[in-house]
Copies of this chain bind each other. A is one copy, B any other.
Amino acid sequence: MRSREAILNAARELLLGSGPTAVTHAQVAERAGVGRATVYRHWPQTEPLLLEAMATVPMPFLDKPTAPTQDWLRRELTAIASQLELDDVRAVSTTLANAALWDETMDARRARFAGILTDRLAAALDDAQARGEIVLTLPSREAAAMAIGPMYYRSTIERAPIDSTLIDAAMAALGTWSET
């Protein structure tokens, strides 16, 4: 079990330091100080390893809103979009959505992941509305589906680039932003 922990720690460090594409069998093996065969034995494929490493690191998106909310949100959605363009993130997110249908552990991860995004965006938008930055056109807890859903569909179903038009349209769909 010690090599399993070392591998998972190495995967987490690589994920935090260099992003999901760095979580390869070779790099994980080198950093964990184990043979590549050992990594393959515990995780024949990298997606489940990446998923498990992701489950142990803080979700980086939509955290700590700054004013003006409109600028902050555009930056955050653009960051999510660029992550969704990475094959590894596409693989992890579609594996999670698929495996969650049959596997309770995966479903718990899916729920935690989705819940954090929903909660953070709802809180940021409620605050923004209280400050007069936006008049919401839909309940704040529906905002995550409206803001992230189009990018997720574009990336995983249409498999096409997420352009700023789509991000702007999603932001406009949340409500009427006041001019600043």
Complex CA gap A169/B158 in Å reads: 21
Q: Which residues of A (94-109) have their CB < 8 Å from a CB of B?
A: 94-95, 97-98, 100-101, 107
Cβ-closest chain B residue relative to A87: B101
Candidates B91, B101, B139; contact of A94 at CB < 8 Å: B101
Question: Is A120 engaged at the interface, CB distance under 8 Å to the other chain?
Answer: no
What sequence of 0s and 1s flags, for each residue 104-126 of chain A, a beta carbon within 8 Å of any chain B beta carbon? Answer: 00010011011000100000000
What chain B residues lie within 8 Å of A150 (beta carbons)?
Answer: 145-146, 149-150
Question: Is A165 engaged at the interface, CB distance under 8 Å to the other chain?
Answer: yes
Q: Are B145 and A166 in contact (CB under 8 A)?
A: yes
What chain B residues lie within 8 Å of A137 (beta carbons)?
Answer: 169, 172
Question: Is A156 engaged at the interface, CB distance under 8 Å to the other chain?
Answer: yes
Q: Are A157 and B165 in contact (CB under 8 A)?
A: no
Complex CA gap A100/B137 in Å reads: 35
Interface centre among A151, A157, A163 (most CB of B within 10 A): A157
Q: Are B157 and A142 in contact (CB under 8 A)?
A: no
CB distance from A138 to the nearest CB of B (A): 5
What chain B residues lie within 8 Å of A172 (beta carbons)?
Answer: 137, 173
What chain B residues lie within 8 Å of A114 (beta carbons)?
Answer: 157-159
Other 16 A-B pairs with CB < 8 A, given A98-B98, A148-B153: A90-B101, A93-B157, A94-B94, A94-B101, A97-B98, A97-B156, A100-B159, A111-B159, A113-B157, A138-B166, A142-B165, A142-B169, A144-B158, A145-B151, A145-B158, A152-B157
